[in-house]
Amino acid sequence: MPDAFTKRPAGQPIVLAEEVHKSFGPVEVLKGINLQVMEGQVLCVIGPSGSGKSTFIRCINHLEKIDSGRLLVDGHLVGYRRVGNKLHEMRESEIAKRREDVGMVFQHFNLFPHMTVLQNLIEAPTKVKKVPKGEATEFARALLERVGLAEKEKAYPAQLSGGQQQRVAIARALCMKPKLMLFDEPTSALDPELVGEVLDVMKGLAADGMTMIVVTHEMGFAREVANELVFMDGGVVVEAGNPRDVLANPQHNRTKAFLSKVL
Amino acid sequence: MVERVAGSSAGEPPAEELVVVPLRHPWRWVAIAVIALLVAMLVHSLVSNPLWHWDYVRGYFTDTVILKGIWVTIELTVLSMLIGVVLGTILAVMRMSPNPVLSGTAWVYTWFFRGTPVLVQVIFWYSLGLLFHNISIGVPFGPRWHTWDSNTLITGFTAAVLGLGLNEAAYMSEIARAGLLSVGPGQAEAAAALGMGRGLALRRVILPQAMRVIIPPTGNETISMLKTTSIVLYIGLYDLLGAAQSIYSQATFLQVPLLVVASIWYLIMTSVLYVGQYFLEKRFGRGTTRNVPLRPGQRLLLRIRRRDESAVGGA
């Protein structure tokens, strides 16, 4: 395997997490997460279920609110506006504005079932960014072409396979021209034979230099595409580093135990 | 594989010579006989019993008093359902709002308007003049810009619309809430992740999907409202039933034919609502099924055609 993806120049940190804590009621799910993702990097997050990896990436676009610590996306604090020494909680509309720059792909696709594929793609650009409909449609068609679904633009989500739906969901997120893409177990709900087509689209994105954070159980993808691999367990980052090193030569016992079960 | 083994071992004829005997349904014929008998008895009574007074039914079917009553029924139903649906949706959204004042207000509203009889509410609005002699707009506790006399502002008709509509809103709010809850949280998250605000997501993503769940019980409410409007007789308005009653109590003194007239008109109006509901459901069912649902007529045609085909195939 050539190092096609690992030798990209690292620029500004696009995500910076310092001691991020998050509880759901009495259960502390994140117990101090520290990590950073550079522009153009692909970060894969692995770990057992309940380790907090999904919660963490949901915090990045404020689908969950963190309890303490610092979380910066593209240089801005998530959910707060700093004025002097005070942090003002953001209004719903300001949070929505920040989310425009962060694309998200969900485990269960979450396409809008009452809209066709094309309507799904142009909804946010036309209604949120006020892009003219013709322009949005043109861009959407180019993206559908790219994910290999150009002929499906008039189909409703229910008429597509899981793999096709997830590719549409990726195209939908890309329609907002995000600076960062978050993937929350994008292939976990798919039949094994459909996983490949979604991973191929994601590999293409990585090759184009998209900054990506991917929560995944696909170790092959992590090894091949990620420049950084993070192993989370019990709400903390146990181990991080070059994916090939971590996967082949894990340093911590918990990482070893996890990898021995999944590899 | 199995067939061949069975055929060869027992010396039975090959599979293609086996005859399929369709399952017989003898009890269906019994049911048909019983129901046919009951229908025959009913028809016999309708035709032979002179007390139905069919000539009166025909004579009063398009009587101007009846037609005026129908118009009142339609107006009241449309206006109060309009208030009910719009205010009900607003109440449902308020109820689900993170703002405790809004959700509490919506809860109290529903509690109060569902907890008191609609008849009491209609009469209450009608007698609002007993409580407030004048109604003004202006600054609360401050200057008044315009003042109306309560008794001229609140006519029987406005009282009826207010009473029925505000009561309906309480019921509709729970129907709308059920619809909103039926849309999975993933839809709101996906909309949020695309940068859509709460209002936009509600309008474009959540409500259109909730409509699928909201429409059938709303059809129920509309049909129910069509008939509930007859309580306005208590405040001196004549809807369809009121009109029929006024005719038999003042002119014909025959209850049965006029109740038949009213019932036929109610059935006609209900049937029209069925058609409207069908098209609404089709509109909001987009994308939910892989194949397009058939119209009732098409379904019948298809069934007959299939029967013909199977009859031909069987012969």
Helices B156-182/B64-95 angle, 10° precision:
40
pLDDT at B300: 78
Inside any domain, residue B253: yes
> How close is the nearest chain B Cα to the Cα of A250, in Å?
34
Cβ–Cβ contact B193 with A under 8 A: yes
Q: Do A114 and B193 touch (CB under 8 A)?
A: no
**Residue partners of A69: CB distance under 8 A and separation at least 6:** A17, A18, A19, A20, A21, A32, A33
pLDDT at B269: 95
Inside any domain, residue B10: no
Instruction: Name which of B187, B194, B198 to mutate to probe chain A: the one with the most chain A Cβ atoms within 10 A of its Cβ.
Output: B194
**Residue partners of B71: CB distance under 8 A and separation at least 6:** none
Residues of chain A positioned with their CB less than 8 A from the CB of B287: 113-116, 156-158
pLDDT digits (tens, 9 = 90+) for A66-100: 999 999 999 889 988 888 888 899 988 899 999 99
Total domain count, chain B: 1
Q: What percent of chain B has pLDDT over 70?
A: 91
- What is the separation of C-alpha B147 from the centre of its chain, rounded to a whole number of angstroms? 38
Closest residue on chain B to A177 (Cα) = B194
Rounded to whole angstroms, how far apart are CA atoms B43 and B154? 47
Rounded to whole angstroms, how far apart are CA atoms B196 and B202? 9
Cβ–Cβ contact B56 with A under 8 A: no
Inside any domain, residue B40: no
pLDDT at B310: 61
Rounded to whole angstroms, how far apart are CA atoms A151 and A261? 41
Backbone angles phi, psi at A102, to 5 degrees: -120, 115
Query: Which tokens in the block code for residue A215?
Result: 């929560």
Quickly state the pLDDT bin for A3 (edges 50, 70, 90): very low
Q: What is the mean pLDDT of chain A?
A: 91
Closest CA to A169 of A179, B45, B234, A190: A190
Quote ipTM for the complex: 0.90
> How close is the nearest chain A Cα to the Cα of B191, in Å?
8
- What letters, b where the CB count within 10 A reaches 16 and e where it falls short, cover A228-263? bbbbbbebbbbbbeebbebbeebeeebbeebbeeee
pLDDT in tens, chain B (315 residues): 444 444 445 567 777 788 888 899 999 999 999 999 999 999 999 989 888 889 999 999 999 999 999 999 999 999 999 999 999 999 999 999 989 999 999 999 999 999 999 999 999 999 887 788 788 888 888 888 888 887 777 888 999 999 999 999 999 999 999 999 999 999 999 999 999 999 999 999 999 999 999 999 999 999 999 999 999 999 989 999 999 999 998 888 888 999 999 999 999 999 999 999 999 988 888 877 655 556 667 777 887 777 776 655 443
pLDDT at B2: 45
Inside any domain, residue B299: no
pLDDT at B1: 43
Question: Which residues on chain A place their C-beta less than 8 Å from a C-beta of chain B?
Answer: 61, 63, 92-93, 96-97, 99-100, 102-104, 106, 108, 110-116, 123-124, 127-129, 156-159, 172-173, 176
Residues 73-132, chain B, touching A (beta carbon < 8 A): none
pLDDT digits (tens, 9 = 90+) for A92-148: 889 999 999 999 999 999 999 999 999 999 999 999 999 999 999 999 999 999 999
Inside any domain, residue B36: no
Contact present, A124 and A178 (Cβ < 8 Å) = no
> How close is the nearest chain B Cα to the Cα of A96, in Å?
4
Contact present, B189 and B240 (Cβ < 8 Å) = no
Burial classification of residue A56, based on how many CB atoms lie within 10 Å of its CB (0-12 exposed, 13-18 middle, 19 or more buried): buried
pLDDT digits (tens, 9 = 90+) for A180-238: 999 999 999 999 999 999 999 999 999 999 999 999 999 999 999 999 999 999 999 99
Cβ–Cβ contact B208 with A under 8 A: yes
Closest residue on chain B to A121 (Cα) = B194
State the residue for tokens 């409207």.
Answer: B276
pLDDT at B301: 81
Whether the pLDDT of residue A4 is over 50: the answer is no
pLDDT at B10: 56
pLDDT at B291: 57
pLDDT digits (tens, 9 = 90+) for A13-36: 899 999 999 999 999 999 999 999
Domain that holds residue B231: 59-286
Statement: the pTM of the whole predicted model exceeds 0.90: no
Inside any domain, residue B310: no
Closest residue on chain B to A178 (Cα) = B194
Q: Do A99 and B193 touch (CB under 8 A)?
A: yes
pLDDT at A55: 95
CA neighbours closer than 13 Å in the CB half-sphere of residue A46? 28
pLDDT at A8: 43
Burial classification of residue B22, based on how many CB atoms lie within 10 Å of its CB (0-12 exposed, 13-18 middle, 19 or more buried): exposed
pLDDT digits (tens, 9 = 90+) for B224-266: 999 999 999 999 899 999 999 999 988 888 889 999 999 999 9
Beta-sheet pairing, A102-105 with A180-184: parallel
Inside any domain, residue B185: yes
Q: What Cα–Cα distance (Å) separates residue A182 from each residue in A24, A58, A59, B50, B228?
A: 22, 8, 11, 79, 54
pLDDT at B146: 83
Residues of chain B positioned with their CB less than 8 A from the CB of A92: 197-198
What 3-state DSSP class applies to A68?
strand
CATH of the domain at B255: 1.10.3720.10
